[in-house]
Amino acid sequence: MDVILNINNLNYQTIFQNLTLSLEKKKIITIAGSNNSGKTTLCRILDRKIQDSFNINLMGKDIDEYSLEKYNHLLQVVYPKEYHFQETTPREEIETVETLKEKKEFIINELKALKILEKEIIKCSMTERIWLQIMMAILKSSEIVVIDNLDYYFDPIDLQTFYDFIKKCTKFFHNSFIVTATSLEMATSSDVLYIIQKGEFILHGEPLTVLQRDNVINKAGLSVPFMIDLSVKLRDYELIKDIELDQERLIEALWN
């Protein structure tokens, strides 16, 4: 196990009590919870915007041992809508970042696919600017990118595109990701799912395993995605053998 981030027994005011999390290299963690569950506060702690005596280890060192410049090179936090761009184009913004040539070319190709590479940022939609935020963070970070409450701003199609994109980043550039969310619709696209309630991780593990704990999840103010909820019920009635996420395959399994 190549763990690159360890949060050990994190305590902060009345928000967190003994919070523990670990992130492995090339992995995607989703932290899901309702509003005011502590997600953004955790992002701000990882961003070092909240200063206190925290037991957080990054790449074998306490985060306070890093200069801010070095820390920002290892870990970037994205707060959607808090973008600060010049009146330029995404290509010009990208050219200001010193990073691997291959990584820069990869990001440029992704922005071409989104059809915003040469578009004036002032004319970009909010969603397009958030995409640029995310890609700039990936360019600047050699290890971890944290993105807060993205599902609040992205529709399901954008979210699917986003998870497909960051999976490519974990494969090609070995980045790791922590994504916080207010719903569980894209939870199965991550490697590890954490459910947070009132500053406490009440569940964590492989997403499909966690999502079967619907009674705990519902108490946290979240809803299990329809296909998973239906599959679990059908499996419990021995109508299917395994959980099925694809509607057409589920219908086929029922007919068989």
| 3-class DSSP string for 68-106 | HHHHHHHEEEECCCCCCCCCCCHHHHHHCCCCCHHHHHH
Beta-carbon contacts of 144 under 8 Å, excluding residues fewer than 6 positions away, are 4, 5, 23, 58, 74, 75, 76, 175, 176, 177, 178
Helix (H) or strand (E) holding 135: helix 126-140
Half-sphere exposure of 170 (CA within 13 A, CB side): 20
Of the listed ranges 68-77, 153-162, 223-232, 245-254, the one predicted with least confidence: 245-254
Instruction: With both helix axes pointing from N to C terminus, report the angle between 101-113 and 126-140 in degrees, rounded to the nearest 10.
Output: 170
Half-sphere exposure of 210 (CA within 13 A, CB side): 26
Among positive and negative, which fits the CA dihedral 160, 5, 143, 121? positive
CATH topology of domain 3-224: Rossmann fold (3.40.50)
Compute the distance between CA of residue 197 and CA of residue 195 in angstroms, rounded to an integer. Answer: 7
Average pLDDT score over the chain: 91
Evaluate whether 166 touches 178 at the Cβ level (below 8 Å).
no
- pLDDT at residue number 32: 97
Compute the distance between CA of residue 79 and CA of residue 86 in angstroms, rounded to an integer. Answer: 18
Dihedral pair phi/psi, residue 5, rounded to 5°: -135, 125
Domain ranges of the chain: 3-224
- Closest to 39 in 3D by CA, of 190, 154, 175, 194: 194
pLDDT tens string 178-203: 999 999 989 999 999 999 999 999 99
Q: What is the mean pLDDT of residues 160-175?
A: 95
Dihedral pair phi/psi, residue 149, rounded to 5°: 55, 45
Compute the distance between CA of residue 33 and CA of residue 35 in angstroms, rounded to an integer. Answer: 7
Residue 122 has pLDDT above 70, yes or no: yes
pLDDT tens string 199-245: 999 999 999 899 989 899 999 999 988 777 777 677 765 666 666 66
